[in-house]
Structure 1
Amino acid sequence: MLCCIDFVGKLSKSKEKNVEFISNVHIGFMKAQNLIIQNLLQLGKKRDTIKKLIKELNKQKASKESLEKSKYNLKVIEYKESVLRKIADTIAWQLLGFDRTIIRRLYSFTSQVEIFNSNLKHDLKVVEEIFNSDKTTFPLVNDITSFIQVGDLLVRELDSPDIKLIELKEGKVNDEIAKIVEEYEEIPCDRRLHYQLEDKDEKFKKQFNRYVKQKSTALNKAKIINTGSGTDEVTGLNIQTVKETFYTEHFDEVVASMMKEVDKRNYSLRTIDGCLIVGVYNTSKMSIHTGFDMWKESVGIDFPTIDLRSSVSSPLSYPLFLHPFSINDKVKLINGEKVIYMSLDIDKWLKMFEDKEVNVNILSKKQTARFNTTQVHSKVFEHKGQAIEIEYKNVKQMLSDGIFERMFNQFLRPSSAIEFFKYGHDKVGAFLESPLV
């Protein structure tokens, strides 16, 4: 009995420590969120001022020099905004458990929301209320991220595996609409709803429909994320997410050691899996473009050069701040004092597929163009204007930008990418062969 009590006591202490740890992490997240919002507001005002100045300079036919200077200042501000949103993404990725399936589902390919055009004051009031009531629950303001385009808040709770996407509305009209919707959800009655809306003007009805649509979208997304099944609102297709984990191999620790090496000799070079080259440079000490491009040419690589810093402007890319680099090195990467360049010998990589019994088919430029003109948000990867199709166990798949984003931004090993494809094709093949299909 004493052992039992002792065990329960240890469990209790363990839970207390977990609560304390999570609460402290969330306090840090909250401080970061507030700083991100403050800086985005300041930068937004500066950006608007510069845009007005550029418009005025164009009207006045000002000198090319003054116009270029203003355009450069605008680019600097936009880059700073992207960096801040990527810091917010760093919080979001952790709240979402680094699950790319969820992350992609929250992105709607719409334009970025200006936070000063949103109901920010009301949103922050709700955020404070949620956080102050329980610090193991974290409410993230979605509009400060690069990719969360559903709902106003993303809420994660310690004791719940579910993700909440909350729509926030303020004002008398929205309060009235919320009450009508709440009553309908409690006791669905179409006749009562008809009478409640019958005497309302068109403006109210439009606002009501917009409210219901936004809430429905958020609820549907949350349902798909939390249950792994549902209906895609864009395609209308049924979705079934496979709840399995495949552990990929990465070379982030290799790059981390290279970052330290450049403090001593200004550059560091590596080849990963015999096909992906990486160059880390101290830009204050040597010409980076020339050195890396010469290396590429010497080994016969004609693939584009990828700068890790370019991932900052890509909404769905893995946040640079999550890599195992020192804080000092992360700042230097953002400022351009250090750079990480990469490129891929794609012919060698495709040969690795074939060596693993995966068929590779290079589409013609005409086939590729036809395919990509019919796809709005899922264009396939092109190399020299040609798409690449792989086939394993009678399952075909077009290579998309996503796998290259993983290699260049998340440092996925090219060899592990192949194993990842094979694993996925194995699962699809087994599903298609099932007598239930």
Structure 2
Amino acid sequence: MSAIDSTPQGDTQNNINRKSLAELYTVADEFNKKESEVAIMCDLTTFMHVGDLLIVRNVDGQERIELAEVKQGKRNLEMLEILKSFSETGCDCYLYYAIKDFDEKDHKQFKRILKQKATMAQVQETLETDKGIDLATGKTIHLSGDGEFVPPTYCEKINEAYKTLNQNREWAIGDVDECLFFGMYKGKMLPAAPFMFHTWMESCDIKGPIFSYTSSFYEDTARPILTQSISSDLIDDLLTEKIVIFICVDFSKLVHECNEAGIPARLGSKTESKKMFAKMNQGVMYDDQMIAVGTDGVEMFLGGGTFLRIMYSFNRPIDLLRQFAADAAKQINPECGAEPEVKYTVRGQV
């Protein structure tokens, strides 16, 4: 049995709406006309769930990241003006009389705007101070902030396999770090690809969760395919379903290779893994077991975010878990009186 859960804010929601996207595009285009600003429409990604626009701008020579909600309509503008006045005065009486005649629909929308502003403020604080509250769990999180760790990828191997396919072949396979295995298929092999890959795994006694790379298109925390360092032609073929890629990580082999590389790792028992999976609210299991990394009595269990970076961002497993173990070691001496933090990296969830 395999299980994975990495959705950051509950069930996936389909928030793609042509009308709202058209309105957002108009606003984003105004930002993007300026050389010092870049605006990204959050609804067109699968990994940003706060705000309508993410804006990167240069302020006094310093880069600043901001989140913004775009509101249309007279009623929304009135509500925003009320909130602006309240934030300036802090007068509860003003707020009471300003919204006392709202009907049920207006009250619901007003609360929605308040919640959006609070959420954006929390995220903004985390981006600026490297500390904040995880919106999904309510736990303290910490960003590494240094940006020094850029995990190596196996994109080169993926590109090499693609070159093989272009040499009158309809399949190509490869492995990474002796624990990750991938297969690439096209043409007449496409219909049989799932069967062929599973058969290969079974014949080699490789046991682990198997993913199709195209499932990243629907995964909330997956890295967008257009940002990957793989061939642009391969990206086109994946998007048009001319090629499929299957990837499998053997948990036992991953633990073995980690220990061979000096990275303390083990497979948790089925009992503790089930408890940890339920407690974490996100993670990855295979055959009811999770991977624990760490030492000196301080361990961290492999979460969904890290695992998906191996699968969907093509991060090399050993290098990624080496950093994972280093992060676990930092938890040995947490700040005095503070609870151990849920650890994240700048580039993704651990």
TM-score by length of 2: 0.80
Q: C-alpha distance in 2, partners of 1:304/1:398?
A: 16
TM-superposed deviation, 1:193: 2.9
Tell me the secondary structure at the aligned position of residue 196 of structure 1: helix
Letter matched to residue 320 of structure 2: A
Tell me the residue number matched to 1:360. 266
Q: Which has the higher contact order (CA 8 A, sep 6+)?
A: 2
Is the aligned partner of 1:137 residue 2:37?
yes
- Per-residue CA deviations over 1:47-99 (Å, capped at 9, x if unaligned) read xxxxxxxxxxxxxxxxxxxxxxxxxxxxxxxxxxxxxxxxxxxxxxxxxxxxx
Tell me the residue number matched to 2:341. none
Tell me the residue number matched to 1:70. none
Identify which of 266, 281, 288 aligns with 1:385.
288
Tell me the residue number matched to 1:185. 87
Letter matched to residue 67 of structure 2: L
Is the aligned partner of 1:312 residue 2:213?
no
Letter matched to residue 165 of structure 1: L
Percent identity of equivalent pairs: 24
Q: Is the 8 A contact 1:393 1:425 kept in 2?
A: no
TM-superposed deviation, 1:166: 1.0
TM alignment of 1:35-434, pairs within 5 A: 109-116=11-18, 119-120=20-21, 122-132=23-33, 134-159=34-59, 160-244=62-146, 245-266=148-169, 267-284=171-188, 288-289=193-194, 291-355=196-260, 356=262, 358-364=264-270, 366-374=271-279, 378-429=281-332, 431-432=333-334
Structure 2 unpaired stretches of 5+: 1-5, 339-350
Q: C-alpha distance in 2, partners of 1:272/1:158?
A: 40
TM-superposed deviation, 1:260: 0.9
Q: C-alpha distance in 1, partners of 2:113/2:183?
A: 50
Q: C-alpha distance in 2, partners of 1:199/1:332?
A: 56
- Per-residue CA deviations over 1:116-147 (Å, capped at 9, x if unaligned) read 4x644543443344344x24322223223223
Q: Is the 8 A contact 1:284 1:337 kept in 2?
A: no
TM-superposed deviation, 1:110: 4.6
Q: C-alpha distance in 1, partners of 2:247/2:143?
A: 32
RMSD, aligned CA: 3.0
TM-superposed deviation, 1:383: 1.0
Q: Is the 8 A contact 2:293 2:324 kept in 1?
A: no
TM-superposed deviation, 1:259: 0.8
Letter matched to residue 78 of structure 2: E
TM-superposed deviation, 1:202: 4.9
Structure 1 unpaired stretches of 5+: 1-102
When residues 108 and 137 of structure 1 are mapped into structure 2, their CA distance, relative to the original with a 3 A threshold, is farther
Q: Is the 8 A contact 1:164 1:222 kept in 2?
A: yes
Tell me the residue number matched to 1:19. none
Letter matched to residue 152 of structure 1: D
Tell me the secondary structure at the aligned position of residue 316 of structure 1: coil
Tell me the secondary structure at the aligned position of residue 381 of structure 1: strand
When residues 243 and 325 of structure 1 are mapped into structure 2, their CA distance, relative to the original with a 3 A threshold, is closer
Q: C-alpha distance in 1, partners of 2:87/2:160?
A: 56
Letter matched to residue 363 of structure 1: S
When residues 242 and 329 of structure 1 are mapped into structure 2, their CA distance, relative to the original with a 3 A threshold, is closer
TM-superposed deviation, 1:349: 1.4
Tell me the residue number matched to 1:51. none
Letter matched to residue 416 of structure 1: D
Q: Is the 8 A contact 1:248 1:417 kept in 2?
A: yes
TM-superposed deviation, 1:308: 1.7
When residues 112 and 395 of structure 1 are mapped into structure 2, their CA distance, relative to the original with a 3 A threshold, is same
Structure with greater proportional strand content? 2
Q: C-alpha distance in 2, partners of 1:201/1:345?
A: 57
Kindly name which structure, 1 or 2, has the bigger radius of gyration based on alpha carbons: 1
TM-score by length of 1: 0.66
TM-superposed deviation, 1:254: 1.7
Q: Is the 8 A contact 2:268 2:292 kept in 1?
A: yes
Q: Is the 8 A contact 1:104 1:316 kept in 2?
A: yes
Q: Is the 8 A contact 1:275 1:345 kept in 2?
A: yes
Q: Is the 8 A contact 2:125 2:132 kept in 1?
A: yes
Q: C-alpha distance in 2, partners of 1:370/1:436?
A: 26
Q: Is the 8 A contact 2:7 2:282 kept in 1?
A: no
Tell me the secondary structure at the aligned position of residue 249 of structure 1: coil
Q: C-alpha distance in 1, partners of 2:207/2:258?
A: 19
Tell me the secondary structure at the aligned position of residue 302 of structure 1: coil
TM-superposed deviation, 1:104: 8.2
